[in-house]
Amino acid sequence: MESAPTATVKALSNIALIIGLTAQIEDKYKGKAFKDKICRVKKESEKLLDMWPEKPNKKQVARIERRILRLEPNLENKDVAVYTSTALAVIDDFKQYLKKEKLKQTEILELRLFTLHKHLDNKLNKEYCYSDAHKTFKAWEE
């Protein structure tokens, strides 16, 4: 199998991280209104993922998985708003490289994630979460 271009792998790994963070949030919270917001984020993430016809090979998938696992220490016992803040930081970083349909879909996903984030931090005043999210994002970029 031919490997996907580096830019594609980076985009796919960012989307995979968002999907993984969303799954972890889903495991921690219950409630119909919250589940609906999670479902919207998952749906938009999958739509964005499907916009890339190229898929990573096994070696690239393993690298993506290692990058995601490397973040676990940064997320252990943290407020769930750290997860959404990290996902929003990832989107903000990589959307600048997208064009047209992919950019539009990314902005829809960003809106859904922000709605979810607002549910977790309704006053947008959890400064400690933003600091932890920044550290997590920096670890993701390494």
| Contact of 11 with 75, CB cutoff 8 Å | no
| Contact of 81 with 121, CB cutoff 8 Å | yes
Q: What is the pLDDT of residue 45?
A: 94
Burial class (CB in 10 A: 0-12, 13-18, 19+), 62: exposed
Asked if the structure places residue 1 within a domain, the reply is no
Residue 2 has pLDDT above 60, yes or no: no
7-56 per-position pLDDT tens digit: 888 888 999 999 999 988 988 887 788 889 999 999 999 999 999 888 88
CA distance 21 to 105: 18
> If DSSP codes are grouped into helix, strand and coil, which group holds residue 43?
helix
Asked if the structure places residue 82 within a domain, the reply is yes
Asked if the structure places residue 49 within a domain, the reply is yes
> 90: which residues sit within 8 A by CB, 6+ positions away?
14, 17, 18, 137, 140
Domain with 78, as residue range(s), is 6-141
For the chain, what is the mean pLDDT?
Answer: 89
53 phi and psi angles, rounded to 5 deg: -70, -30
Asked if the structure places residue 17 within a domain, the reply is yes
Q: Give the percent of the chain with pLDDT over 90.
A: 47
Q: What is the pLDDT of residue 3?
A: 66
pLDDT band of residue 68 (cuts 50, 70, 90) is confident
Residue 104 has pLDDT above 90, yes or no: yes
| Residues written for the chain | 142
What DSSP letter does each residue of 102-127 carry, written as one string?
A: HHHHHHHHHHHHHHHHHHHSTTS--H
Q: What is the pLDDT of residue 1?
A: 47
pLDDT band of residue 61 (cuts 50, 70, 90) is confident
Q: How many domains does the chain have?
A: 1
79-92 per-position pLDDT tens digit: 999 999 999 999 99
Q: Give the percent of the chain with pLDDT over 70.
A: 97
CATH number, domain of 52, equals 1.20.1200
CA distance 38 to 65: 22
CA 105 to centroid of chain Cα atoms: 14
